[in-house]
Structure 1
């Protein structure tokens, strides 16, 4: 064997070793997520995970069952009720009407909903509804704080926004939303409709890893604008790609959506208060900025966050909701942490 040939063999061996270690270094999250999902204590995972970067799939897997009774395996294309992630869609639909001049963010809600009985309808604005700073706990009761002074999360304000959208468009919220999904080519995204057979997985209530079917996850069609959109991880990734890259709202409107004047704490986003814009949480004090939202209850959990600097999108959907609130986002929190500490952030 000549000296030149030996050097060539050595060079190729070094190249193979270095490329192998680079590949391992490049993907330092998949095996961690796989190991995490194997955990069954304190609760098990039953859902779908999708992670993308710059439009390319980095992780895409389904675990568990779409129907626990007949053990039908979940598929990554399966549809879930996304619960409060629906609020982000309602916020965008509201802002699109703002762009058309049909809604004024600083106008009192009585302008659009004149039949409201409470006097606060003259002081609470559309802006207050969007970022939960209105002080509304119940539509039939007085405010619990002065508008803009605090944060109170709930479904009522986004049900009101759905009604405002109907008022200014002269159409059902369901039809306005479904039209947007068609326009964005989100073919598997649509509104829940009571009494209508729809393509989605079954939702379950989890109590100590004992599962019970949730027969009626959405009480009525009025709830759709707050918690009743049905979608899958693929379409929600499309939504995030288009929303965060200026393909749904004008730049100035998107800036309004992602600017905050109020902060709030949420377990899925950490122990500290972070910003809340319009249907979106903004974590800009962490080492890596990210934006997103959650949804959960009535047999479903949804979680999605987007990291603007690295163009990483993380979406997790589960067809179970835990009775123990401390375990609600158990896996979602850890998946976020794995991603935030991975090579995807470099």
Structure 2
């Protein structure tokens, strides 16, 4: 009895010590990330040379906000402060949404990536519709310059960034589903909880959309969409390439769900984010990146990151996601500087600060 009691005590003590070690390990693993980036980002955003920042920055990691900033105005005339809840034109970040919609049809068996686009658009007059594939439209290797123009190169042999290519992808979606692109996209947004995201509709009220502004030297001018001379058809063709409205919170939902298997199956997601098509986009990366399906892909850093930049109609943006670190960076501005050399100035500098911070260690 005496020995049994002693052994019981030893087992109990060992159990307590083991729990303590486990708690210590858990505590160490949950240690907060050292913040070596907030002060740098704050200082950057306050600079006025070579231009001013006017917009929002949202950085999340593992579902927690690491940094958020609202700076400037959504309406300069009324001096309305800009907000994380404000909507922005996301411009070319619309492309990854179109790509995901195509891939969902691929999953359903309604579209095959290697099929010539003539299979889905039989009325397209151009002879290149017999050789250009859906895959090539998605990764910008089609050579499509314009619907009525010859290809820039033999399909599949180069890279040419093309809004018309994504307009064609929108038409393919409409042909295969029997629905309008706007209906298809808006249905997905609703399904995944993007309550403030939608396809822009001209001449209608567009909820909480910030004004967009052109900036030239020291002058600032609000963009009047009506003066951009879009016809109903030309805008319809542009929406899949750059016509979607969203805000920081919704884009965070999109990035989190897209890169964590809640929108696409693993095999189709892998097709989207892996590519050998080279794109020299130095907003997204300081080196050449690859262009997948509506996304740029950077393999040069210690960790792979995926995203896109966008600009136009008074708006500029950049967002990227690092799957291995569950890190999401969203930068949205509602001012567009006509000096092309500095239009993405803050987007590039913010990217550099983040990628050289403790967030990616």
TM-score by length of 1: 0.91
Task: Give the match for residue 16 of structure 2.
Answer: none
- Matches of residues 74-85 of structure 1 in structure 2 within 5 Å? 74-85=82-93
- Aligned partners of 1:107 and 1:333: how far apart in 2? 37
Counterpart check, 1:298 vs 2:313: yes
Is contact 1:192-1:221 (8 Å) kept? Answer: no
Give the superposition deviation at 1:271.
4.0
Within 5 Å, which residues of 2 pair with 1:264-303? 264-303=279-318
CA distance in 1, matches of 2:77, 2:237: 30
2:55·2:72 contact (CA, 8 Å) conserved in 1?
yes
1:86 maps to 94
Q: 1:298, 1:266 → 2: CA distance?
A: 20
2:353 — aligned with what? Answer: 338
Residue-by-residue CA offset, 1:224-283 (whole Å, 9 max, x unaligned): 111010000100000000000000000000001011031111121234221111001110
Where in structure 2 are the equivalents of 1:45-84 lying within 5 Å? 45-84=53-92
Aligned 8 A contact 2:284 2:309 in 1: no
- The alignment partner of 2:97 has SS state of helix
Contact 1:177 1:190 in 2 (8 A): yes
Paired residue secondary structure (1:325): coil
Kindly state the Cα deviation for residue 96 of structure 1 after the two structures are TM-superposed.
0.5
The residue aligned with 2:332 is 317
Structure 2 residues not aligned, in runs of 5+: 1-30
* Counterpart position of 1:208: 217
What TM-score, normalized to structure 2?
0.87
* Match for residue 44 of structure 1 among 40, 52, 60: 52
1:34 equivalent to 2:42? Answer yes
Moved runs in structure 1, 4+ residues, more than 4 A? none
- Aligned ranges for residues 143-222 of structure 1 at < 5 Å? 143-199=151-207, 200-216=209-225, 219=230, 220-222=235-237
CA RMSD of aligned residues (A): 1.3
Q: Take 1:261 and 1:44, find their aligned partners in 2: how far apart are those partners? A: 36
Structure 1 unmatched runs, 5+: 1-21
SS of the residue corresponding to residue 61 of structure 1 reads strand
SS in 2 for 1:78: coil
The answer for the alignment partner of 1:11 in structure 2 is none
Number of residues of Structure 1 aligned to a counterpart in Structure 2:
324
Larger Rg: 2
* Distance (whole Å) between structure 2 residues aligned to residue 81 and residue 306 of structure 1: 19
CA distance in structure 2 between the partners assigned to 1:302 and 1:169 by the alignment: 31
- Residues 164 and 237, structure 2, Cα contact 8 Å, conserved in 1: no
In the other structure, the counterpart of 2:243 is 228
The DSSP-based 3-state class of the residue aligned with 2:341 is helix
